[in-house]
Structure 1
Amino acid sequence: MEVYCSMNLVTSVNEHTSLIGTPQPFFRLVEFDCDQTADHADSIGRIRKGQLTAIVVRGVYSADVMSNIADRLERHDPAFLKTSFPEKFRSWFYGRNLSLMGTDPETYFKQAREFHAQMAELFPAGLGINEHLMRVLSSLDEGRPYRSAPGPESGQDYMLTTFRGHAEGGYIPAHCDNEQSVRPAYEHLSTLVSSHMYSMVLMIGAADEGGDLEVFDHRIEPSDVHEDQSSNTGANAGKIDLSQLSSAKIQLRPGDLVVVDSGRYLHRVTPVLGTKNRWVACSFMAHSLDRNAVYCWG
């Protein structure tokens, strides 16, 4: 099913419906169940070409598996490295976001090895993010391998993902991921991958309300990014009046996956409402320069 959106409304239309006389909506989504991935093997390629804004795959994991994992994350089990968003965002990471690596890559890559071992223990056998979720992504991209981006030295890998917790009132302000590429932590990674990135979010535990991924009709191409746009807080979007932009909110159930053109499109996570924490796994990704693989990082 293809979905088109403008002015905060999502409307389902047949792919062959005529749009003559109607302004072309900015948001185009494909949505399907996990057992239909073979029918959508070109969908991530369509994101890279700008033909799609997002892909939603329903039921990548069962609700029971996600519930068990959310319960363990609430207990901080395993004892992942915990790092923080800026305090006002009321959110945190298990693992380390690459933008927060700082000037100590040796410690980062040591932490990455520990993180990957703990991540493998978190999921049931054969259903880990590396074993299962990366295969799903590969099936949506003509079979290209999806893997952790390799580090600068043999045996080093970037963290494949991070787990993100958002408490009541937690949010992420509007930003475009392509802005990250000029941050110091990306100096090595930028020699391996395309300058245009996209991302995936796996919903593990949904909030009572809110916590939606909202995508706006505002684009930043890789060629538009400059070093003065490298804020870690999303402040670069502060001058944009979001109320004047068309937007679409993507609502996910536990076990659902979204792949979104977050590099180009301004987007945010809306505030979490209620006392139930929102839990997701989130990875950024870009194809390797030889286009034979896609490298991922948290």
Structure 2
Amino acid sequence: MNHITQQLLQIVSDLPDNFRGAFNIREDGQCAGRQSSDHVRIESKTDAPGLVIQVEPGTRGETVYIPACVTHGDVDDLVYNDFFIGENADVVVVAGCGVHTDDDSEARHNGIHRFFLGNGSHVVYREKHIGTGKGAGAKRIDPVTDIVLGEDAVLEMDTVQLSGVDSTTRKTTATLSARARLVVRERLLTDGDETARSEFEVTVTGDDAAVDLVSRSVAKGRSHQEFVSVIKGQARCTGHSECDAILADEGTVVALPGLEAAHPDAALIHEAAIGKIAGEQLLKLRTLGLTEEEAEARIIDGFLK
């Protein structure tokens, strides 16, 4: 691994030194390191660039790391990763991504992740995205996540975009069987002329399943964000989506909620709140000795946490 990859890994994955579990490190479209464990097997796909990650039924307490890094311009990295989670397994998956360019060429990563969760399984899925480098080339990250939850399966998705990504389109689709549960927490920060679009489409087909989708974002500079969510209730279920956004400078945000109830016992809710930081919040912190810039940064940091 080169030194840029090492720096990006510290930011997006927190992969421990001498880690003994399952991991795969992707650098500029190539494998820079791989290891399976007794209960988690990682293999290369045979029909496309990417991985097949298989977690044995009943596996508990393991963390799987699959970070990807692009360290220079003129790289368009496309990868397909499939996760097969055995019944009653309980694992953590960490899939951070960092893109870096110091020249005028574009650096892009497009990770297409598919999750197939067996009955009664539980996955905590964490992804953290960042763009770095002083080059004029665009830094792009366009993740796609496709989720299929078996009966009583639970997936908790925590996705964070820190800064420096010029353009991102984030697409997530999910299908929930009976008593399955999907929890999504998205946090986005854009600045300058950056653009971000998040698309969520969740279809609930099983009785007593539930989805809880919450997005918190901050649009600074002249950046633009779009949040599109569609929850389709086709059985007795609960669904909740929420978009909370702070505007700073000349930033803009568009929220487009969609609820489709095709069952009389589908209870679906959407909430949205977009606005600037309240003046009294800034004033309170300034009376404690902070400058206006420091106060704003403190509020934004707390909001995104």
TM bin (shorter chain): under 0.3
- Structure number with greater Rg is 2
Structure ranking higher on relative contact order (CA contacts 8 Å, 6+ apart): 1
**TM, length-normalised to structure 2:** 0.23
Bigger helix fraction:
1
The normalised TM-score by structure 1 is 0.23
Higher strand fraction (1 or 2): 2
